[in-house]
Amino acid sequence: MSLQGKTAIVTGGSRGIGAGIAKELSKRGARVLITYASSSSKADEVVDSIKSSGGEAIAIKADCVSLEAPKLVAEAAAKFDGNGGFDIIVNNAGAGDEMWLKDVTYEHFDKIFHTNVRFPMFLMKESLPFIRREGRVVNLGSVIARQGWKMHTAYGASKACLESFSKTWAVELGHEHGITVNTVNPGPVATDMWDAMPANIIREFDGYIAQTPAEPRVATVDDIVQIVAFLCEEGSRWVTGRDIDY
């Protein structure tokens, strides 16, 4: 129970990697608030799963493109905590619609950048009055931030922004607040988003998967979850401003 007494925000916690992170942080003792954009039933399933295992969790709807969402989430987490603060933010919520450059629209760009860049940035800003000393922030990026993958012009750029956020926030918040900030950059992970990609695009990942150092396979959700959970613990206190690629 390495996170006993801690309160965590996990954005986009109703499915995939986010749901796995929420459940794992709860197993380690954290009280967890998850956000969801549309599917309340899936969010309720995650909350019920955590509660059935003896944990504490709530889900709140937060549309990442809404200007009100960051403040809503930060204040809800502080209230849920019971003591007016919280300890962990996992910026997992993301939009990743694939689109060829020739087809890119302003609407597509806005959706990607409002969700993947503006929302986590302003969530962090709104959280500053509440996040406790020695807090932990983990941004979920992507290896696409540094690699050229077809149909990911906006998505790759948005994930590169998260890497920059981590480095900047680590410097701003480290000495004064003892807060660590890191980015975890998964490669292909077996989630519903992976399953929804066109088969011809998935085949292009064969070479990348074959060269994955740990094992020549697509990562599981739990592979990524364990890394994020470690970065939320006290034992990761000397890891900050880092990009961890898998």
In this predicted model, what pLDDT tens digit does every residue of 96-142 receive, in sequence order?
A: 878 889 999 999 999 999 999 999 999 999 999 999 999 999 999 88
Least confident of 78-87, 93-102, 197-206, 218-227: 197-206
Burial class (CB in 10 A: 0-12, 13-18, 19+), 203: exposed
User: For residues 99 and 179, what is the distance between their CA atoms, to the nearest angstrom?
Assistant: 36
User: For residues 177 and 134, what is the distance between their CA atoms, to the nearest angstrom?
Assistant: 6
Confidence of residue 240 (pLDDT cuts 50, 70, 90): very high
State the amino acid at position 21 in one-letter form: I
Mean pLDDT for the chain overall: 92
pLDDT score, position 134: 95
**What pTM was computed for the model?**
0.92
Residues 6+ apart with CB under 8 A from 172: none
State the amino acid at position 63 in one-letter form: D
* Total residues belonging to the chain: 246
Strands (DSSP E) contained in the chain are 7-10, 31-36, 57-61, 86-91, 131-140, 180-185, 243-245
pLDDT score, position 129: 96
Specify the CATH number for 7-245; select among 3.30.2290.10, 3.40.50.2300, 3.40.190.10, 3.40.50.720.
3.40.50.720
Confidence of residue 238 (pLDDT cuts 50, 70, 90): very high
